[in-house]
Amino acid sequence: MTTRSHPHTASADTRHSWATRMLRARVPIEVVAELLGHSSSQVTEQIYAHLTVEDHREVLVSAGVLRNGSVEA
C-alpha cells in the first residue's frame, strides 16, 4: 500500500464523519469501501478500526452485559 501525503482539510473531516456514520448505521463495510473509492474493504477496516471497541461496548451496555465499565455476572 502506498502512503500519500496530503493536507488535512475540512473535506477530509466530512468524508471521515460520513464514513463513520455509515458504519455505525451498519452499512456493510464493503459498500462503504466502494463508495469511498478504497481499493478493498481491508483498507476501510484499517482506517476505521477504532470504531469497533466503542461499538462493542455500546452493544454490551444495551444488552445489560456491561454496566459502569464492568461485566455483569
pLDDT tens digit string along 4-41?
555 556 688 888 889 988 988 889 999 999 999 999 99
pLDDT band at 72 (very low <50, low <70, confident <90, very high): low
Other beta carbons within 10 angstroms of residue 44's beta carbon come to: 21
Q: Which residue has the cell 464493503?
A: 30
* pLDDT for residue 52 is more than 50: yes
Per-residue model confidence (pLDDT) at position 70: 63
Give the span between the Cα atoms of 10 and 32, in whole angstroms: 20
The residue-averaged pLDDT of 34-60 equals: 85
* pLDDT for residue 3 is more than 60: no
| Between 53 and 3, residue with greater pLDDT | 53
The residues near 72 (Cβ < 8 Å, ≥ 6 apart) are 64, 65, 66
